[in-house]
Amino acid sequence: MSRKKILITGPFGSGKTTFVEKLCGKNILKTDVKLTFPLRDKKTTTVAFDFGKTIRDKKTIYVYGTPGKMRFNFMIDVLSKGIDGYIFLLDENGIKNLKETKELYEKVRKTNKPHLIAFNTNNINLNISVFKKIKKSMNTSAPIIPFTVLDKNSVENVFQRLLEIIDKEYPKP
């Protein structure tokens, strides 16, 4: 059985821990601590990583979620070693702070691994101009896929799309 390592990354509050939970089940390893000043419905933040595993097509896939706070972004360097691909999560708050979001994206982009941008929203019918703005601001041609992190099927679709991108970039002999 072969193995893959996938990184789930993105700005603070974009849904990384929830993504890993929806994908791998509730039995994931989390390194969350309480926020000093809770925001919206968010009461905790990841300080090291989230970890889960799933099996797809007889492949064990290890899934790592990074912290979103900028002071912990050194973990991206640690966790990105040996990855096969990554999903960069983004939401409306990430668009509001595109400078910080772009800085984070550039950090993980240095891995030169297959990836996509998953836009976490409840409005799946977003205007295409939003995606054009993101692509231009982040200077990327990566596919942007709208999804809802609270919907397991939506998360599964994003993950499957990344696996297809990886397989296309690294075809089996």
Instruction: Band the pLDDT of 42: cuts 50, 70, 90.
Output: low
User: Which domains are present in the chain?
Assistant: 3-169 (3.40.50.300)
Q: What is the pLDDT averaged over residues 75-97?
A: 84
Helices H, strands E: what count in the chain? Answer: 6, 8
Instruction: Band the pLDDT of 45: cuts 50, 70, 90.
Output: low
Q: Using alpha carbons, select from 23, 22, 20, 1 the residue that is nearest to residue 10.
A: 20
Q: What is the pLDDT averaged over residues 48-72?
A: 82
pTM score:
0.87
Q: Using alpha carbons, select from 111, 101, 47, 45 the residue that is nearest to residue 77.
A: 111
Structure tokens at 50: 């989230």
Structure tokens at 156: 């599964």
pLDDT tens for 1-21 read 478 999 999 988 888 888 998
pLDDT tens for 110-159 read 999 999 999 988 876 666 777 788 888 888 889 999 999 999 999 999 99
Q: Could you write out the DSSP letters of every residue in 20-32?
A: HHHHH-S--B--E
pLDDT of res. 135 = 83
Q: Using alpha carbons, select from 24, 25, 29 the residue that is nearest to residue 53.
A: 24
Percent of the chain with pLDDT over 70: 79
Q: What is the pLDDT averaged over residues 27-42?
A: 65
pLDDT of res. 152 = 93
Structure tokens at 99: 């400078």
pLDDT tens for 95-107 read 667 788 888 899 8
pLDDT of res. 115 = 95
Instruction: Band the pLDDT of 79: cuts 50, 70, 90.
Output: confident
pLDDT of res. 31 = 61
* DSSP code for 114: -
Contact 67, 78 (CB under 8 A): no
pLDDT of res. 85 = 95
Average per-residue pLDDT for the chain? 82
Residues 91, 111, 70, 72, CA torsion sign: positive
